[in-house]
Structure 1
Amino acid sequence: MDSFLGIDLPTWWFLLIGALVSGYGILDGFDLGAGALHLFFRKEQSRRIALNAIGPVWDGNEVWLVIGGGALFAAFPLVYGIILSVLYLPFILLLVAIIFRAISIEFRSKEPMKWWRQFWDISYCLSSTSIALLLGLVLGNLIQGMPLNANHEFTGRLLDFINPYAVLIAVTVLSLFMLHGAMYLAMKTEDRLYARMTILINNTSKFFILCFITASMATLIYVPHMQAIFHNHPVLFVLPLTAVLIVLNIRQSIEKRRYLRGFISSSVTIALMLVLFAMGLYPNLVLSNTDPAGHISIYEAASTNKSLRIMLLFAGIGMPLVLTYTVFVFWTFRGKVKPDEISY
């Protein structure tokens, strides 16, 4: 097995895809959270400010999802095919929701009629909420495993992906994105809208903490395989402990109205939750909850070593460019939002 810096190539790609998914969760997470909160703003000016807060960055943030999907297809084509086949319906709904979110943002300001703008406001809110929930459903099913036989064939029913644990994870993801988005909007707004955001941040933080505690307990009770690595390597228990401390720091930051610190903490929370998920999964990419022979490991699903090596070279060139562009956009559009005639 070829390796780079002492780590085999499939593991490198497992880490790279995890980094891409984390980047997407952190960056597009606050966009989706802001969209899910959109109908809580009653005034036209408030909704325009909220839209313009994410206006310069939302489409660039979605690039991380595209790159992550492309990397999964290139590095682990077997897993790409199985996940999209088994979870066909939620991925189709996810694609539809992504399309409607994009056109809602772009179409809203094209006409001045009140009914027109209200329609696209509702569409924007529902599509953003749906994306967060569908991402959570996919994550929940990957955590607990899916009904696959030894030939990696799906043996369940079409709607098996809608189960109590996956729904709980979906709601938890939505609550985290809403909190993440609320703190981002607080950093970009002022005056009465800022005061409104402080109330929403307080409420969404309580909602997230409740979901976080419930999801953690459910995982400990009903998904024991996610704990195996911590039994085998007790030193790694520092990571879930750190996640708990970061969540507590979010609440402390909110009480002191230090929303930048809170936003950084929610970003770290997203990353840590995905790291814990990856640790419970590795070296597998897909788990079967009916037949252990149905598990798909990174070694079984990986492309050839030559392909992985060449693609890793391109990733080493492309990733810094994407990061540089992302930092440049956020730096260029830093500060409070002040909409004008050509804004959303």
Structure 2
Amino acid sequence: MGIDLPLIWLLIIGFGIMMYVITDGFDLGIGILFAFIPNRQHRDTMVNSVAPVWDGNETWLVLGGAGLMAAFPKAYAVVLSALYIPLLLMLAGLIWRGVSFEFRFKADEAHKAFWDKAFMLGSIVATFFQGVTLGAFIDGIPLDDSSYAVAGWITPFSFFTGIGTLIAYALLGVTWLILKTSGPLQQSMVRITRPITLALLASIAIVSFWTPLRHPDIAERWFSFPNLWFFLPVPFLVLLACFAIFRCLRGVPHAGPFVWSLLLIFLGYTGFVISVWPHIIPPDLTIYEAAAPVQSLGFTLVGALLIIPIILCYSAWSYYVFRGKTQDGYHE
């Protein structure tokens, strides 16, 4: 039996996207949370909690996009052709957020409020259109024509997944700040974690019912036998993660809420993979139909296996060096 190169590359791309969602998710979540924290000093502390690592987090987005282009060029072409507007808006939000991240520290008093709002807006726009892209992807991109509807991604479902992504990243951001801060700011984060968690649970429930109602093939996958027995633990694990977050918020929380929020996001990601497998472009294109030639897959795999450990090592080292609480812009 030969090596299944398309599957290996799908795992690599999926790993890169998941790492991006986790790491840049709490970065973007901090920008979203600016709407709830008007205090300038607290905002500085929030930003400084990710300042040493935020730009490295986006490496995973580059890995996922480059891997898709190298390993599944047809899927890359289809996605960028059909969803170029939301993807362009997402990138515009990421660029605007990056600019405001740096400028908000260097601006004079007259312009600091502007760059705070710019940072918040860039984070919201980038996150929302990531979710819109996800929703449009789940809805599927028909391949029976060489052209795609420019506004095909504008649907109630994709807009709702955009809102759900905002809530998910806000949960990552607020639990990250519980881990990295203390005092009044941490107490504020604890207070808003509860409603954000409940909002995310409601979003997950709505998407979990809405998706199979829109797509009978997904409904058959989840609710037919014997699949139902294998997938039944997923909703119970979601409820367990939410309960564990509430439990960890008692007393003086530290890493617990963030760890459980990571599990919650991972479960949502797992549900997405179960729903679309083995298609890389639902509902028609599988990973094997979209894969590059075997020679290309093997050649690029060598480079990926060399670079991924390097990314993991320098990311882990940066998080280790800047571990501890952030107090008034400094680590303890």
TM range (shorter): over 0.9
Which blocks of at least 5 consecutive residues in structure 1 are unaligned?
Answer: 289-294
Q: Structure 2 CA distance, aligned partners of 1:256 and 1:10?
A: 48
Post-superposition offset of 1:187: 1.4
Residue 72 (structure 1) aligned with residue 64 (structure 2): no
Percent identity reads 31
Aligned alpha-carbon RMSD (Å): 2.0
Q: Structure 2 CA distance, aligned partners of 1:191 and 1:246?
A: 25
Deviates more, 1:229-238 or 1:274-283: 229-238
Task: Specify the alignment match of 2:175 in structure 1.
Answer: 183
Q: Structure 2 CA distance, aligned partners of 1:80 and 1:277?
A: 19
CA change 1:110–1:242 in 2 (3 A) is same
Task: Specify the alignment match of 1:132 in structure 2.
Answer: 127
Q: Structure 2 CA distance, aligned partners of 1:163 and 1:57?
A: 35
Q: 2:323 aligns with which of 309, 326, 334?
A: 334
Task: Specify the alignment match of 1:249 in structure 2.
Answer: 244
Structure 1 stretches of 4+ with a deviation exceeding 4 A read none
Task: Specify the alignment match of 1:285 in structure 2.
Answer: 280
Q: What is the CA deviation profile of residues 311-340 of structure 1, one whole-angstrom value per residue up to 9, with x for unaligned ones? A: 222222211111111111111111111346
Q: 1:274 aligns with which of 246, 266, 269?
A: 269
Deviates more, 1:164-173 or 1:274-283: 274-283
Q: 2:144 aligns with which of 139, 146, 150?
A: 150
Q: What is the CA deviation profile of residues 261-294 of structure 1, one whole-angstrom value per residue up to 9, with x for unaligned ones? A: 2211111222222222122212211124xxxxxx
Task: Specify the alignment match of 2:214 in structure 1.
Answer: 222
Q: 1:29 aligns with which of 4, 25, 31?
A: 25
SS in structure 1 of the partner of residue 21 of structure 2: helix
Task: Specify the alignment match of 2:308 in structure 1.
Answer: 319
Q: What is the CA deviation profile of residues 179-232 of structure 1, one whole-angstrom value per residue up to 9, with x for unaligned ones? A: 110010121111111121112212212221222222222123223323443436
Deviates more, 1:165-174 or 1:59-68: 165-174
Task: Specify the alignment match of 2:293 in structure 1.
Answer: 304
Post-superposition offset of 1:27: 0.7
CA change 1:3–1:276 in 2 (3 A) is farther
Residue 161 (structure 1) aligned with residue 153 (structure 2): yes
CA change 1:90–1:180 in 2 (3 A) is same
Deviates more, 1:211-220 or 1:91-100: 211-220
Q: Structure 2 CA distance, aligned partners of 1:19 and 1:236?
A: 22
Residue type of the alignment partner of 1:233: N
Q: Structure 1 CA distance, aligned partners of 2:6 and 2:235?
A: 25
Q: Structure 2 CA distance, aligned partners of 1:240 and 1:315?
A: 34
TM-score (norm 1): 0.89
Q: Is the 8 A contact 1:226 1:277 kept in 2?
A: no
Q: Structure 1 CA distance, aligned partners of 2:255 and 2:12?
A: 27
Q: 1:91 aligns with which of 64, 83, 87?
A: 87
Q: Is the 8 A contact 2:249 2:257 kept in 1?
A: yes
Q: Structure 2 CA distance, aligned partners of 1:3 and 1:104?
A: 49
CA change 1:331–1:84 in 2 (3 A) is same
CA change 1:332–1:76 in 2 (3 A) is same
TM-score (norm 2): 0.92
Task: Specify the alignment match of 1:292 in structure 2.
Answer: none
CA change 1:225–1:256 in 2 (3 A) is farther
Post-superposition offset of 1:243: 3.3
Task: Specify the alignment match of 2:230 in structure 1.
Answer: 236
CA change 1:247–1:192 in 2 (3 A) is closer
Task: Specify the alignment match of 2:116 in structure 1.
Answer: 121
Q: Is the 8 A contact 1:26 1:267 kept in 2?
A: yes
Residue type of the alignment partner of 1:189: T
Q: Is the 8 A contact 2:178 2:253 kept in 1?
A: no
CA change 1:127–1:11 in 2 (3 A) is same
SS in structure 1 of the partner of residue 327 of structure 2: coil
SS in structure 1 of the partner of residue 249 of structure 2: helix
Q: 1:263 aligns with which of 254, 258, 278?
A: 258
SS in structure 2 of the partner of residue 131 of structure 1: helix
- Length, aligned pairs only: 328
Task: Specify the alignment match of 2:191 in structure 1.
Answer: 199
CA change 1:124–1:87 in 2 (3 A) is same
